[in-house]
């Protein structure tokens, strides 16, 4: 355990019991801070339960690229496209999409990619620290294998990986075909002729891991409880979290890790908004082995071994985080992914789920102090699971020492849009 620095906070309230909030709470405890975690529904109730479970530093490719903008425009009239934007009047969504489009340029993408490199370098180690110190859940080493219908299609992913290498990301990958491809991915269909194996990655059962992390926080003396928060205010060297029922919790500091619900809090105003990019998943039985995660880049689908079956995750749906599940989105995932995989019993799906990923328009999360005693950790997009623990460790360091780690400088929560 790292000792508290003189003058550092003794108590903290963390808003949000997902991977980011609980990691921040855990690492604050490492530094001697007493924590209370509150959540509107409970542990892993948002994006932390049903995602693909990848800890994949080599694949944390920012969304805001020119290619994604072109793809998004082509997808608008395709109901089966992985990207879905509902045709409903929503001024906030329209404003977000305009800012996102403005950030889909090479310079903004490169800035986001460079900012993510320090997190990618340490994200696996942060998981090692958690597991070595009481978080009782497995973390599995495995390559993530991307499947393609042609070598030309595979070259698009290779180009993206090369772009990440140019900004400093360490990446190891292997091209596969023929018997080597079938051996690594027995589920690959006859339509798949090429694959890229991205080495040195990991995966977890996200729901199990986040609940184990919550158990560890409790065992260390932390309190986790249900409270829907409406406001967080820092005054006079203290921070107060106000519930919608009128309850108030006061501590030395507060951390807002509310994910896609961040904009609903009447916290200090942020100039960079967070939009819910909802992802869907379900579980299907398989008739062949699943040695490791499978990525289908052309249809934006991620598949992961899950309790003897296969978890299938996909879609980026810009919709209110509390909207009901749209079954047509699940059907779209099945229709686009099924031609690429054999031995999957698509009709026997269970655990159908939707969860909101918190997406920023410039591809960078919001991590740091927003007013005296009030901090935010949100906006990780599709990479909250990969970057949650390392974000928690770095933010706990900043909170207890008063010094911003260099790795967090690119995520200033008070930055201007595109700044």
Residue 9 has pLDDT above 60, yes or no: yes
The answer to whether residue 197 is domain-embedded is yes
The answer to whether residue 386 sits within a structural domain is yes
Which of 6-15, 42-51, 80-89, 280-289 has the lowest average pLDDT? 80-89
pLDDT at 254: 97
Q: How confident is the model at residue 85 (pLDDT cuts 50, 70, 90)?
A: confident
Q: Considering the domain boundaries, does residue 3 fall inside one?
A: no
3-state DSSP assignment of residue 154:
helix
Q: Is residue 224 helix, strand or coil?
A: strand
**pLDDT given at position 67:** 79
Range from 23-27, 397-401, 413-417 carrying the lowest mean pLDDT: 413-417
Q: What is the pLDDT of residues 334-352, one digit of tens each?
A: 999 999 999 999 999 999 9
Give the residue among 301, 415, 297, 398 at the shortest CA–CA distance from 362: 415
The neighbour count for residue 110, using CB atoms within 10 Å, is 16
Residue 2 predicted with pLDDT over 90 = no
**Which helix (H) or strand (E) is 113 found in, with range?**
helix 106-132
pLDDT at 162: 96
In sequence order, what are the residues at sequence separation of 6 or more whose Cβ sits closer than 8 angstroms to the Cβ of residue 394? 367, 405, 407, 408
Domain containing 106 equals 11-411
| Predicted confidence (pLDDT) per residue in 298-312, tens digit | 999 999 999 999 999
Kindly tell me if the per-residue pLDDT of 128 is higher than 70.
Answer: yes
Edge to edge, the sheet with strand 366-371 lists 223-226, 34-39, 11-15, 253-256, 374-378, 366-371
DSSP one-letter code for 344: B
How high is the mean pLDDT of the chain?
Answer: 93
Alpha-carbon span 262 to 273, nearest angstrom: 9
pLDDT band at 78; cut points 50, 70, 90:
low
- Please write the tens of the pLDDT for every residue from 231-289: 999 988 899 999 999 999 999 999 999 999 998 886 667 889 899 999 999 999 999 99
Domain-embedded: residue 216: yes
Whether 417 is in a domain gets the answer no
The predicted model gives 148-170 an average pLDDT of 96
* Bridge partner list, 359: 275
How many CA atoms, within 13 angstroms, populate the side-chain half-sphere of residue 281?
27
Instruction: Tell me how many domains the chain contains.
Output: 1
Residue bearing tokens 């560890």: 216
Long-range contacts for 318-321 (Cβ within 8 Å, ≥24 apart)? 318/84, 318/85, 318/86, 318/93, 318/96, 318/97, 318/275, 318/276, 318/277, 318/278, 319/84, 319/86, 319/276, 319/278, 320/276, 321/46, 321/260, 321/261, 321/276, 321/278, 321/356
Query: Rounded to the nearest 10 degrees, what angle do helices 384-401 and 19-30 cross at?
Result: 40
Contact in structure between 123 and 57 (CB atoms under 8 Å): yes
CATH number of the domain that residue 331 is part of: 3.50.50.60
Q: Tell me what pLDDT residue 386 has.
A: 97
Residue 80 reports pLDDT greater than 90: no
Inform me whether the pLDDT recorded for 3 exceeds 60.
no
The whole-angstrom separation of Cα 81 and Cα 75 is 6
Render the burial of 175-184: b for 16+ CB within 10 Å, e for the rest.
ebeeeebeeb
Asked if pLDDT for residue 418 goes beyond 90, the answer is no
Q: Inform me whether the pLDDT recorded for 72 exceeds 90.
A: no
- Tokens representing residue 258 in the block: 């509310």
pLDDT at 267: 61
Dist. CA 228–CA 226, nearest whole Å:
7
User: Residue 314: exposed, middle, or buried by beta-carbon count in 10 A (0-12, 13-18, 19+)?
Assistant: buried
pLDDT of 68: 73
The whole-model pTM stands at 0.95
Residue 6 lies in a domain: no
Residue 176 lies in a domain: yes
- pLDDT single digits (tens) 179-192: 999 999 999 999 99
Cα of 353 vs its chain's centroid, Å: 16
Reported as a single tens digit per residue, the pLDDT across 348-363 is 999 999 999 999 999 9
Instruction: Classify residue 2: in a domain, yes or no.
Output: no
Q: For 363-374, write each residue's pLDDT tens digit.
A: 999 999 999 999
């Amino acid at each position: 355990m790292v000792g508290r620095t003189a003058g550092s906070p003794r108590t903290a309230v963390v808003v949000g019991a997902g991977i980011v909030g609980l990691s921040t709470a855990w690492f604050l405890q490492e530094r001697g801070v007493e924590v209370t975690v509150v959540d509107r529904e409970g542990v892993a109730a948002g994006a932390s339960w049903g995602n693909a479970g990848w800890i994949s530093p080599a694949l944390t490719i920012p969304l805001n690229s020119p290619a994604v903008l072109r793809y998004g425009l082509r997808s608008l009239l395709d109901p089966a496209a992985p990207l879905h934007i509902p045709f409903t009047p929503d001024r906030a969504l329209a404003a977000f999409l305009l800012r996102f489009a403005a950030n889909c340029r090479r310079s903004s993408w490169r800035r986001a990619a460079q900012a993510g490199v320090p997190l990618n370098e340490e994200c696996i180690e942060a998981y090692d620290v958690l597991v070595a110190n009481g978080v009782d859940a497995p973390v599995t080493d495995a390559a993530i294998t991307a499947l393609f219908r042609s070598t030309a299609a595979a070259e698009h992913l290779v180009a993206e990986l090369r772009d990440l290498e140019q900004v400093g990301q360490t990446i190891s990958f292997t091209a596969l075909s023929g018997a080597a491809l079938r051996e690594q991915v027995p589920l690959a269909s006859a339509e798949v002729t090429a694959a890229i194996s991205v080495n040195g990655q990991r995966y977890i059962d996200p729901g199990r891991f986040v609940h184990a992390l919550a158990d560890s926080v409790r065992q260390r003396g932390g309190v986790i409880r249900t409270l829907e928060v409406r406001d967080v205010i820092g005054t006079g060297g203290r921070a107060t979290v106000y519930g919608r029922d009128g309850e108030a919790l006061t501590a030395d500091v507060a951390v807002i890790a509310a994910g896609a619900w961040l904009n609903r809090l009447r916290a200090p105003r942020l100039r960079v908004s967070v939009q819910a990019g909802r992802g869907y998943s379900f579980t299907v039985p398989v008739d062949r082995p699943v040695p490791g995660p499978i990525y289908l880049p052309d249809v934006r689908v991620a598949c992961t071994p899950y309790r003897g079956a296969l978890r299938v995750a996909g879609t980026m749906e810009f919709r209110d985080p509390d909207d009901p599940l749209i079954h047509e989105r699940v059907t779209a995932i099945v229709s686009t992914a099924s031609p690429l995989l054999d031995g999957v019993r698509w009709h026997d799906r269970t655990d159908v789920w939707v969860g909101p990923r918190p997406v920023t328009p410039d591809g960078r999360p919001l991590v740091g102090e927003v007013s005296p005693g009030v901090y935010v950790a949100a906006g990780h997009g599709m990479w909250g699971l990969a970057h949650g623990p390392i974000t928690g460790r770095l933010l706990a360091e900043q909170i207890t020492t008063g010094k911003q780690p260099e790795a967090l400088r690119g995520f200033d929560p008070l930055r201007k849009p595109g700044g």
